[in-house]
Amino acid sequence: MEMEISFPGGARVDASFGAHTVQTDQPPAGGGEGSAPTPFALFLASFGTCAGIYVLGFLRQRGLPTEGVRLIQRATRNPASGMTERVEIEILLPPGFPEKYRDAVVRAAEQCAVKKHLETPPAIVVSARPG
């Protein structure tokens, strides 16, 4: 997949691919306007939204209701390094959700492609050339 990264002004940085543009910005304290999520917030959001699509697919395949199902994600940073060291995703199930599917819906969420890519991270190669 190819994306074009552009600088529309201020501290905004956008990624365009296909018919979509993902906008990012920095908070005011970081020189931005806070008009969009930071790139790192989008990175973190990709864990929960990816797990969510797997949960949604699991529920739909079994004809289970999606109403009342939510995922709560919490990220914990290492105070010494400032790096995120743990991401927890909790699936909140509505009353009456079949107990026999509880472990299976967790396994479905764990199949998330974003999570799988972090287990064997891709090489990131940066280069520069005249445009």
Domain ranges of the chain: 1-36, 38-122
More confident residue, 101 or 131: 101
User: 131 pLDDT band (50/70/90 cuts)?
Assistant: confident
Instruction: Give the CATH architecture of domain 38-122.
Output: 2-Layer Sandwich (3.30)
Confidence of residue 21 (pLDDT cuts 50, 70, 90): very high
Average pLDDT over residues 107-115: 97
The SS3 of residue 102 is helix
Q: What confidence score (pLDDT) does residue 19 get? A: 98
- Put simply, whether the predicted model's pTM sits higher than 0.85 gets the answer yes
Strand 12-17 to 4-9 pairing:
antiparallel
